[in-house]
């Protein structure tokens, strides 16, 4: 006997927040793949590309992470530091970084608090079904800690090229 599934409507009350250009980026302190705490406030004076992804080692997330890795030198040459945030535990991030040879920092947000603060966790439409979970997103944070760009619900394929074009990094 098939179980009935509940239909969830996305409304203004339950939709994730969305950060606006010029708004201060929410501060955070998260452990990286080695367990070291990374604080956004400590990165003032640097420009940051912060991307959130659902889960390490899944096909789309792996492709996106590797594309950011392939673009790391070009982004660094234009003054950007890459940070990646997921709900994965530190141990899984350490293995992901090592096995995929990623040079940038991976941050663990196991309770989804930072992703929620950025509007990158909440109700989302996944293959026609409304679920709660990570919303693949990218944020560009200027050297003063303000949102320069906020890209929500992005597709992994071609996303890094879009970010590079947006930032003038060819």
**127, 54, 122, 116: which is closest to 86 by C-alpha?**
54
> b/e for 130-143, b at 16 or more Cβ within 10 A?
eeeebbbbbbbbbe
Choose, from 49, 56, 61, 84, the residue flagged as catalytic: 61
Residue whose structure tokens are 């141990």: 91
How far, in whole angstroms, is CA 42 from its chain's centroid? 19
Contact 146, 24 (CB under 8 A): yes
SS (H, E, C) 91-154: HHHHHHHHHCCCCCEEEECCCCHHHHHCCCEEEEEECCEEEEEECCEEEEECCCCEEEEEECCC
Q: What is the CA radius of gyration of the chain?
A: 16
61 has catalytic annotation: yes
Question: What residues are labeled active site?
Answer: 61
């Amino acid at each position: 006997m098939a179980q009935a599934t509940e239909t969830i409507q996305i409304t203004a009350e339950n939709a994730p927040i969305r950060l606006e250009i010029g708004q201060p980026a929410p501060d955070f302190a998260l452990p990286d793949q080695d367990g070291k705490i990374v604080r956004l406030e400590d990165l003032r004076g640097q420009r940051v590309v912060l991307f959130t992804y659902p889960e390490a080692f899944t096909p789309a997330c792996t492709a996106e992470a590797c594309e950011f890795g392939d673009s790391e030198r070009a982004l660094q040459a234009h003054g950007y530091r890459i940070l990646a945030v997921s709900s994965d535990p530190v141990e899984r991030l350490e293995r992901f970084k090592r096995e995929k040879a990623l040079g940038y920092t991976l941050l663990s947000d196991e309770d989804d608090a930072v992703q929620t603060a950025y509007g990158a966790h909440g109700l989302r439409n996944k293959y026609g079904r409304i679920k709660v979970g990570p919303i693949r997103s990218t944020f560009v944070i200027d050297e003063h800690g303000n949102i320069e760009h906020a890209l929500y619900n992005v597709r992994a394929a071609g996303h890094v090229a879009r970010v590079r074009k947006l930032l003038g990094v060819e």
